[in-house]
Amino acid sequence: MTEVWDNITSVQADPSLQVVIGTGLAALLLIAWRPVWRQTRQVVTIAHEGAHGLIALLVGRKLAGIRLHSDTSGVTVSRGKPNGAGMIAVLLAGYPGPALFGLAAAFVLSRGYAVALLWGLLLALLILLLQIRNLFGLWSVVAFGAVVFAVSWWGSEQVQSTFAYLLTWFLLLAAPRAVLELQSSRRHGGGRNSDADQLRRLTGVPAILWVGIFGLITLGCLVLGVLWSDVLPT
């Protein structure tokens, strides 16, 4: 355990540019290849619903539980005032959530703390697990957590760093695609109870503008993440 703690608190060597670019391309493949995306998108849902839950607690609402479904949808239930700034903040957090988590991960990686990032993620998943209220959601979080734990416990420093970069790229790149899927669903008559449509009912601002805000935030996080990764020459 002393060795693990030393690894968590120590700065790891920066990976090569080839590793940074390679993990980015691998993450892009996981998102662009539809058969794989159907499975990996569940990670985005975990981050999406986790963001709802986190903001609900921060604004003083009582978190009643989170459900994750096999179609990669999810729902976070919180108790409190059904309107107002707090509820707006909760609804606004979902789609930007994966991108913001990815940006936070990129910041941690830019400081050299890849192992700390993985163990921090494990702690977050453990806290999230306490709020899951359905069997599939339980399985999803446990399976994802098992992968992160295996890499954190048995992986070499190079493997840990590579996996941390892969996951960070995945969150940054997947978040904009989730926003595009939201608008595609709305355009074809679905998603009428989406976060954007609930925000429209609460604020009177058209749902398409909320979708645009989601898109701008996720793209902004992606740009910052690329800059922090040192992929582009300075």
> Residue 80: inside a domain, yes or no?
yes
Q: Check if the beta carbon of residue 170 is closer than 8 Å to that of residue 30.
A: yes
Task: Report how far Cα 164 is from the mean position of its chain's Cα atoms.
Answer: 13
Q: What is the pLDDT at residue 233?
A: 54
Query: How far is residue 46's CA from residue 74's CA, in Å, rounded to a whole number?
Result: 8
Strand, helix or coil for residue 158 = helix
> Residue 17: inside a domain, yes or no?
no
Q: What is the pLDDT at residue 74?
A: 95
Q: Which domain holds residue 37?
A: 2-10+33-228
Q: What is the pLDDT at residue 61?
A: 94
Q: What is the pLDDT at residue 190?
A: 74
> Residue 21: inside a domain, yes or no?
no
Of 73, 77, 78, 76, give the one whose Cα is nearest residue 45: 73
Given a cut of 50, the residues of the chain with pLDDT beneath it are 234
> Residue 76: inside a domain, yes or no?
yes
| Angle at 221 (CA atoms; ends 194, 136), nearest 5 degrees | 45
Give the count of domains, the chain.
Answer: 1
Q: What is the pLDDT at residue 79?
A: 93
pTM comes to 0.94
